[in-house]
Structure formats: C-alpha cells, structure tokens
Amino acid sequence: FSDPFINRRRANGFMQADTRLEGISQERLRGRIKAPLERQREICEDYYPCEQYAFRHGYAAAYKHYFGRRRTK
C-alpha cells in the first residue's frame, strides 16, 4: 500500500524555481525591447506630416515615405 499524497516536506520538490525566475526575467526583457515596427510607428507619430499620411496610407507606407530613404550629402 503506497500513500497517494506527496510528503509535505517534498511537496515543492518537483518545481524548479530557477527556470521560473529565468522566464520572468525573459518576459521583462521582451517588454522593454520594442519591435522595429513599433519603433517606426512611434517615430512616425512624432512627426505630424507622417502621422497624417499614415491615416490615409498606413504607418508602414508613411514611415517608408518620410524616413525610408536616408538622405546623405
């Protein structure tokens, strides 16, 4: 006859705290690092003509129109 319940002292033995903490830290990093499209949209929102263009054509097209080609002298 074996006991179907886990011993109180070993109840949390199957959980690995380190991996859980690593997962939490990874989630925090993902929250801090923005996707390139999100960064482009924020840049476009800060520039009024780009934002107006985006309302009509979308943020991807607006960013490409105003910031897509780098002008160098």
**Residue 52 or 18, more confident:** 52
Nearest to 60 by CA among 72, 50, 70: 50
Strand locations in 8-73 (E): none
Q: What pLDDT is recorded for position 29?
A: 74
pTM: 0.53
Q: Where are the domains of the chain?
A: 8-68
CA 50 – CA 44 distance, rounded (Å): 5
pLDDT band at 60 (very low <50, low <70, confident <90, very high): very high
Q: Are 63 and 39 in contact (CB under 8 A)?
A: no
Nearest 5 degrees, angle CA 9-CA 10-CA 13? 140
